[in-house]
Structure 1
Amino acid sequence: MAQSEREKMAAGAWYNCVDAELDALRAVAADAVFEHRSLRPVERGDIAPRLRTLLGSAGEGARIEAPFHCAYGFNIHLGEGVFLNAGCTILDTATVSIGAGTMFGPGVQIYCPEHHKDPVQRRAGLEIGRPVTIGRNVWIGGSAILLGGIEIGDDAIVGAGSVVTKRVAAGATVVGNPARLISG
């Protein structure tokens, strides 16, 4: 039996992102994000009700400031006390795990999807999702970009505006584009 595009995406295989089922899932996420952005802060709380329900998991005290954007939501897992500042975007075509106590500055972006390098395949909507794993007590500075397939170890620091393209060791500090080690 042929796999659906959603099943291919979940399996970490190449899939066509121009798909009715995936469009519908993105629409559900867009509605949840709209509610999160539109509710008064006192009504929204740490995470608006529809967005909290959509997320794969959210530990106690996890907080997402508005505005926020995600592709699907169900691939996002937040540990206890995670803080995402205003303007963060997570394109969660693969699992995104963020460890307890981790904090994001404003405008941090996580890009799991990788579009096909062949232009014909790319125009046809072929992409693959690469997971992102972020450890505990990590600080990601404002406007940093994390590409799919990376892992950031516990207690690491990513400087503001950095573009992380490869693994960051526990306790390391990286800065720049591409991010490079300055300590740890």
Structure 2
Amino acid sequence: MKTERQKMTDGENYNQFDKELINRRILCREKLQKINNTPDNESRNQQIKDLLASSTDKFFVETGIQFDYGFNVKIGDNFYANYGLTLLDTCPITIGNNCYFGPDAGLYTPIHPLNAEERINDVEYGAPITIGDNAWFGGHVTIVPGVTLGKNVVVGAGSVVTKSFGDNIVLAGNPAKIIKEL
């Protein structure tokens, strides 16, 4: 029988009020509050990496990062995020090598049902997000659940990416669409 954490990570309906999940969210909030007030870059970034599923030494995040659990976030080599990165990681978020995020970018894996009755009953599930190598995201970019982006993708500031795209493109808009091939 699966735990609520396993169901959540697998994108199945799960109980968000499960004690293990609540405790992890509290732990992350407490640690991130302290981390985001740490002025020393090396210390701050090491503490963030310690909460994630995986990352490499070439990792730099400005202050203001937020995530639910951390254990569903995998980040490749040579990663940079400007101020205010939000990673809602009920499902896996996988970010390739050489990826850069502008300020206030958000990757959101949770899905709340359209059906009001289900929402009232706290039904929640999610879908993973996967970002290929060499991606660059402008400020205030939003990536919604279930999106996969290929290699060498650039996403313009303020864009909302609602579907998956392949390699070597520039996306912009709400919803984001291809504006240029690279």
| Residue aligning to 1:167 | 164
Give 3-state SS (helix, strand or coil) of 1:183's partner. strand
Structure 1 counterpart of 2:61, from 64, 78, 83: 64
AA at the equivalent of 1:75:
N
State the number of aligned residues.
181
The one-character-per-residue Cα deviations of 1:61-116 (angstroms, maximum 9, x if unpaired) are 11111111001111111111111110110100011011111000000001100012
Task: Tell me the TM-score normalised to structure 1 length.
Answer: 0.93
Matches within 5 A, 1:119-138: 119-138=116-135
Cα distance change, pair 42–178 in 1 and its aligned pair in 2 (3 A): closer
**Structure 2 Cα separation of the partners of residues 71 and 10 of structure 1:** 12
Task: Tell me the TM-score normalised to structure 2 length.
Answer: 0.94
**Structure 2 Cα separation of the partners of residues 10 and 67 of structure 1:** 24
Report the RMSD for the aligned CA atoms in angstroms.
1.4
Mark the runs of 5 or more structure 1 residues left unpaired by the alignment. none
**Structure 2 Cα separation of the partners of residues 123 and 64 of structure 1:** 36
**Structure 2 Cα separation of the partners of residues 120 and 151 of structure 1:** 30
| Residue aligning to 2:114 | 117
Structure 1 position 155, deviation (Å):
0.6
Q: Among the aligned pairs, what percent are the same residue?
A: 35
The one-character-per-residue Cα deviations of 1:24-61 (angstroms, maximum 9, x if unpaired) are 1101111221122011225635x142x22110001121
Structure 1 counterpart of 2:144, from 135, 144, 147: 147
